[in-house]
Amino acid sequence: MTTGKDPHPQSVASSADSNAASHPSNAWVDRHLENVYAYAYRLAGSHDDAEELTQQTFLIAQQHYRQLRDPTRAEAWLFRILRNHFLKSRQRKRPLVASQHGVLVDQIEQPCHDFNDVDQDQQIQRALASLSDDFRTVVLMFYFEQLSYRQIAKELGLPMGTVMSRLTRARRKLRDVILRMERVAESVMS
């Protein structure tokens, strides 16, 4: 699975950097920006929403930096902040930026240097976007954050069996969506 990294997340960096005082440092933001943005993009499904989520993540991290117990686990801590902020925004039914303007994931161009990577990245993002937040979150926690079933269950406050079930169902849905997209692409090319 590709990470969906945007080659130019600098617009996020400039905003996050302007909020960073002494902790975390600009170097700290730069070190984690690309992966945090990639995870935000996978969760949100659009570059605008990913930028907003990334900015909010670094803002929250700035405000609560003293709570980071182990600096070697900073990225996992940032992912947790990002995921929690994303889930809270969804629970409040408050649409994120791109949604407010009626922009669909399919309409957003994704700048990338390699056409095949763009095509595969868009295919993965569309498949992820087709999942409900509950399924998408579990998939990303397992594959992107590389958390165990037990860790996911603890983070989300769910029984481990529910996590396993959601992951199995999400994999099946992703496979079906991707196969359907490939069949459509093949029929268009014929």
One domain, residues 6 and 99: yes
If you average pLDDT over each of 29-43, 104-118, 175-189, which comes out highest?
A: 29-43
One domain, residues 14 and 67: yes
> Is a pLDDT exceeding 50 seen at residue 1?
no
> Is a pLDDT exceeding 50 seen at residue 113?
no
What pLDDT score does 110 carry?
Answer: 40
Averaged pLDDT for residues 45-60: 90
Domain membership flag for residue 180: yes
Confidence of residue 153 (pLDDT cuts 50, 70, 90): very high
Higher pLDDT, 14 or 39: 39
Q: Which one of 79, 109, 139 terminates a domain?
A: 109
Average pLDDT, rounded, for the chain: 76
Domain membership flag for residue 18: yes
Averaged pLDDT for residues 35-51: 90
CB-neighbour burial class of residue 158 (10 A; exposed 0-12, middle 13-18, buried 19+) = middle
> Is a pLDDT exceeding 60 seen at residue 2?
no
pLDDT per position as a tens digit, 75-95: 989 999 999 888 888 776 544
One domain, residues 104 and 14: yes
CATH classification at residue 179:
1.10.10.10
Averaged pLDDT for residues 34-57: 90
Domain residues for the domain of 88 are: 1-109
Structure tokens at 89: 């925004």
> Is a pLDDT exceeding 90 seen at residue 96?
no
Number of domains in the chain: 2
Which secondary structure element, helix H or strand E, spans residue 120, and what is its range?
helix 115-129
Higher pLDDT, 136 or 15: 136
Domain membership flag for residue 123: no
Domain membership flag for residue 117: no
The answer to which of 39-48, 112-121, 180-189 has the lowest mean pLDDT is 112-121
Residue type (1 letter), 102: G
Rounded Cα distance, 97 and 155, in Å: 26
pTM, two decimals, is 0.60
Domain membership flag for residue 122: no
What pLDDT score does 3 carry?
Answer: 46
One domain, residues 74 and 15: yes
Q: Which one of 74, 109, 144 terminates a domain?
A: 109
Domain membership flag for residue 34: yes
What pLDDT score does 114 carry?
Answer: 42
Structure tokens at 130: 């087709």
Domain membership flag for residue 114: no
Domain membership flag for residue 116: no
